[in-house]
Amino acid sequence: MKDKLKSLINKSVVKSSAGGAAGSILFIEFEDTSYLFIWCTWRIEDEENVVVTSSDTILPTESNSSPNGFIGEKSPILEGRKLINFNLTPQYDLEMLFDDEYKLRIFCDIGHSRENYNINWELNIPTENISIEINNHFEEHKAQYE
């Protein structure tokens, strides 16, 4: 996994979205068409603040009329930013460091007892025909698209 993530360093995010019908699932696409689906808990931060989390609202509210809620309004903040570095723990929690001091923190919290919901996050690399899921047993599961 680390080698695959290293290939994303210095790549820009072209799409960052969550909210609405997607719920709190965060989708991050890079300029080389590689992308992440993040099903578990996540948080986007700038240098001093938490910008948005997977627990924020996905629906419009009185103070936020975005059809995709607060998450939908704030999650695109990573678009146009380059991945500078990352930290991956042995349990597959992931911190992605972007330019302008933005961070995406991914917390694998979908555990062993959740057989009906068993993916924390996944990295897909279409150019290599590979998908790597981090499952609820905190293991990599590699597959091909075909």
The structure's pTM equals 0.91
* 29 vs 146 pLDDT, higher one: 29
* Per-residue pLDDT reduced to its tens digit, 28-58: 999 999 999 999 999 999 999 999 999 987 6
SS3 for 31-99 is CCCCEEEECCEEEEECCCCEEEECCCCCCCCCCCCCCCHHHHHHHHHHCCCEEEEEEECCCCCEEEEEH
- For residue 137, what pLDDT is reported? 92
Confidence of residue 66 (pLDDT cuts 50, 70, 90): low
- For residue 114, what pLDDT is reported? 72
- For residue 52, what pLDDT is reported? 95
